[in-house]
Amino acid sequence: MLESTVWRQYHDENNFREKLAEFCRLDALDLIDDDKELYAALKAKLTKKELKLFAMDTAGVAAEAMKAEFDYNDEDLQKAKFKLYKKLIQDKTRLNFRA
């Protein structure tokens, strides 16, 4: 399930539930039960670029590789990460992930 997703390009497992709970400051048990529905909600709330950045950052991909992938400099990468994690904390985003 979810083998051909952006997440699986950078992670060996579908552990996005745990990472999402961590960054959204939610309990993993409060999230949507079905992984496909949860991933669809995640894709709906993030842009393709943000989703890929989230997957790469949580997988521990080197900053240099992320900068090359997105054509960012150091400052742009930090701004993009800040914007992404700020978006995940916002109620209008994270409440869509709740069951």
Are the C-beta atoms of residues 42 and 24 closer than 8 Å to each other? Answer: no
Tens-digit pLDDT profile for residues 4-47? 688 888 888 878 888 899 888 888 888 888 889 998 999 999 99
Any idea where the domains of the chain sit in the sequence? 6-97
Between CA 96 and CA 61 the distance in angstroms is: 27
Where does the chain show beta strands of DSSP type E?
A: none
Tens-digit pLDDT profile for residues 8-19? 888 888 788 888
For residue 51, what are its two tokens?
């989703």
This prediction has a pTM of: 0.89
Cβ atoms within 10 Å, residue 40: 12
Between CA 15 and CA 10 the distance in angstroms is: 11
